[in-house]
Amino acid sequence: MDSQGILNQSVASLKGIGGQTVGRLEKLAIRQIRDLIFHLPLRYEDRTRVQAINELTPGSVALICAKVVSSSILNRGRRTLVCQISDETGYLGLRFFHFTAKQYNSLSSGTLISCFGEIKDGYSGHEMIHPEYKVIQQIDDCITKDTLSAIYPLTEGLRQSSIRKAVEQALTLYNNAPDSLPDLLPAAVLRKFQYPTLIDALNTLHTPAPGISLDTLVNYPNPALKRLAFEEFVAHQLSQLQRKSADKHWQAPVLECSKQQARQFLASLSFKLTNAQQRVIAEITTDCASNSPMLRLIQGDVGSGKTVVSAYAALLALSSQYQVAIMAPTELLAEQHLRNFSVWFKCFDTHIIFLTGQLKGKKRQQALEAIADGSAGIIIGTHALFQDAVVFARLGLIIIDEQHRFGVNQRMALRDKGQHKNNKPHQLIMTATPIPRTLAMLNYADLDISIIDELPPGRIPVVTRAISAQRRSEVIAKINNWIQQGRQSYWVCTLIEESEALQCEAAEKTAAHLVEILPEVRIGLVHGRMKAADKDQVMQAFKKHQLDLLVATTVIEVGVDVPNAGLMIIENPERLGLSQLHQLRGRVGRGSDDSFCLLMYQSPLSKTAGERLNILRETSDGFIIAEKDLELRGPGEMMGTRQTGQMQFKIASLENDIDLLDQVDIAVNLIQQNYPENIQPLVERWLGSTTKYAEV
């Protein structure tokens, strides 16, 4: 077998690995020998030195050597063998809940033992519970190891000793044939960032050399581990870029419109586009005029006017006799797009289809037919657009709103649907959650990014105040006053649990309470458990000013545009992320009057929570808020679970390794330019050989 192939063999070919163990390793996604090499220790045990009892700290694991001072069996509740042991420096308790008479006898006073275990804080000083121990004749018999011992993550039924033996064999094979796992990072990169080679890093992590202390190994940052995390990030980014360049092999329809059509469209708007909108429209126009598919992300704060920009893209498609699909994460939002597009494309003789999960029976059938025979030009909907039954006649453009709600795979799936022979539709994605640059590089390297960094003129920033929930009655008086002046208001209920049910219950209670104390006020309620049609009815009523106060859960985060609603109360804002709060706040301040957002927190507010709310008071720039959110909560939290679900790493973590991303960029460029042959092997190593680029 050639050296490259050795590590591709099944783990079953290793000594002492039987069928059962193979099954258990499989549960840890370990199939080939190479997988064992990348199965890194969870932690290490230090048996390299004997520690003195007086230097032990609770929580640490230590090897000690001491004499039994006393031992006895306690019968309080549970039969327990308790020993006191001592070296010259102090005393330590040992506690056993399972023991044999033989064990008890062997631990008589005066016996010398070596023992290894975790130090706990006991009733009377430090103790070890069920340590590993051995009776020895003299101190010198206390056997220390030369190196730290790796402790591997296990799965049920798998023993530490089995996996350790397996890893040892795997490493020996690798060390005897280093080419079996080539270093895919260029030497220049390793030198530049002072990283060890792959083989050194892996050996260090599995079998730390003698003399390496536990501190240097687990303390941050450990260069061996960092190097692997770095390589993983590099592989992820390369895979995204690979997808991007694979796209270049596809054709896309050229979408363009005449000057007159453009003028007509712009003239039909009731406002003038901002410079930022015009710039992004120009970028899109260039993309669409090319015959390779556009894949562009528009980032723009809430209210920055992304929709009309996407409508311009739709104009390009319609003018070129192609269909446009617009997908929104919620029905509410899809309906808002429907309303906007219906107005903007009124003069355009085109059929607009609205497709959601609610559409059933004959109406659905008719809609599907219009999509399939091409008579529908604009198709607006929710996830329902993914359904197999939806077949587009000539899809030229896909618009996805609020991208962070959809995963990469969904994004790709819709595009594959629109695939026609070797043609793919153009794709435009919009998000109001600014993604800090570093994260965008990792997750959206395959997208071109446009930023709308300007709000339409005349918008007055929302005045944001934090106020204690103890002043609830003052807040209610303020709402009442506000509504007496003919304005409308939102009241947003939040809960820490993602539990929709509890959140809805809280909103119901709040609404009932407000109805009681504000009998004059017309109060509506929307929450996630309501039927879409009922929700829509309430929203419509609010929009038409048949309701004054809308009590809602966070479902209105992305939603309607009601300029007259200029006051928002957010309960328990300390429980939400800054970006989410900013999104919510974006619902107000849509008109030209003053608007307010009251953050009604539970006191006492912790110092950090107070600082976070302050950021919201001080700035209304979504990009700054996103950066702060990232800083304060870390990327996992900030991006939300939906987002992080897409970013699963084996070794790297966004929490610990985000500082690497600038280095990653440099390495990725270098590899692309000088070592393109390393790209595919890197992607396969870290993202698996299942990552297919069949499109190429």
**Residues interacting with ligand ADP, by CB under 6 A?**
271, 273-274, 277, 300, 302-308, 432, 456, 561, 590
Q: Which amino acid is at 213?
A: S
Q: How far is the CB of 569 from ligand ADP (least distance, A)?
A: 21
Sheet holding 376-381, edge to edge: 351-355, 376-381, 323-327, 395-401, 426-431, 295-300, 448-452
Residue 200 host element (H or E)? helix 198-206
Residue with smallest beta-carbon separation from ligand ADP = 305
Q: How far is the CB of 640 from ligand ADP (least distance, A)?
A: 18
Q: How far is the CB of 561 from ligand ADP (least distance, A)?
A: 5
Residue 299: what are its φ and ψ, rounded to 5°? -105, 130
Nearer to ligand ADP, 162 or 554 (CB): 554
Nearer to ligand ADP, 154 or 266 (CB): 266
Cβ-in-10-Å burial (0-12, 13-18, 19+) of 641 comes to exposed
Q: How far is the CB of 525 from ligand ADP (least distance, A)?
A: 24
Q: How far is the CB of 402 from ligand ADP (least distance, A)?
A: 9
Nearer to ligand ADP, 142 or 562 (CB): 562
Beta-strand ranges (E) seen in 446-593 are 448-452, 463-468, 488-492, 523-526, 549-552, 565-571
Is the torsion defined by CA of 242, 244, 247, 248 positive or negative?
negative
Nearer to ligand ADP, 299 or 464 (CB): 299
Q: How far is the CB of 333 from ligand ADP (least distance, A)?
A: 9
* Residues across the chain: 696
Nearer to ligand ADP, 340 or 644 (CB): 340
Q: How far is the CB of 597 from ligand ADP (least distance, A)?
A: 16
Nearer to ligand ADP, 379 or 432 (CB): 432
Q: Tell me, letter by letter, the H, E, C secondary structure of 333-367.
A: HHHHHHHHHHHHCCCCCCEEEEECCCCCHHHHHHH
Q: How far is the CB of 456 from ligand ADP (least distance, A)?
A: 3
Strand 132-136 with 112-118, pairing:
antiparallel
Nearer to ligand ADP, 196 or 300 (CB): 300
Q: How far is the CB of 186 from ligand ADP (least distance, A)?
A: 42
> Cβ distance 364 to 338 under 8 Å?
no
Nearer to ligand ADP, 229 or 325 (CB): 325
> Cβ distance 469 to 442 under 8 Å?
no
DSSP code for 602: P
Q: Which amino acid is at 62?
A: A
Q: How far is the CB of 279 from ligand ADP (least distance, A)?
A: 12
Nearer to ligand ADP, 277 or 678 (CB): 277
Q: How far is the CB of 685 from ligand ADP (least distance, A)?
A: 40
Nearer to ligand ADP, 552 or 558 (CB): 558
Q: How far is the CB of 303 from ligand ADP (least distance, A)?
A: 5
Q: Three-class SS of residue 553?
A: coil
Closest by CA to 569, choosing from 497, 466, 495, is: 466
Nearer to ligand ADP, 21 or 277 (CB): 277
Nearer to ligand ADP, 203 or 299 (CB): 299
> Cβ distance 332 to 553 under 8 Å?
no
Nearer to ligand ADP, 271 or 693 (CB): 271
597 CB contacts (<8 Å, ≥6 apart)?
462, 463, 464, 465, 567, 568, 570, 585, 588, 616
How far is residue 349 from each of residues 226, 341, 352, 385, 639, measured CA to CA in Å?
Answer: 58, 12, 10, 23, 41
Q: How far is the CB of 275 from ligand ADP (least distance, A)?
A: 9
Angle, vertex CA 142, rays to CA 137 and CA 147, nearest 5: 165
472 CB contacts (<8 Å, ≥6 apart)?
600
Q: How far is the CB of 431 from ligand ADP (least distance, A)?
A: 9
Closest by CA to 379, choosing from 417, 397, 360, 353, is: 353
- The DSSP bridge partners found for residue 427 are 295, 398
Residue 603 has which token pair? Answer: 């006191």
CA dihedral 621, 627, 631, 637 (to 10 degrees): 90
Nearer to ligand ADP, 38 or 348 (CB): 348
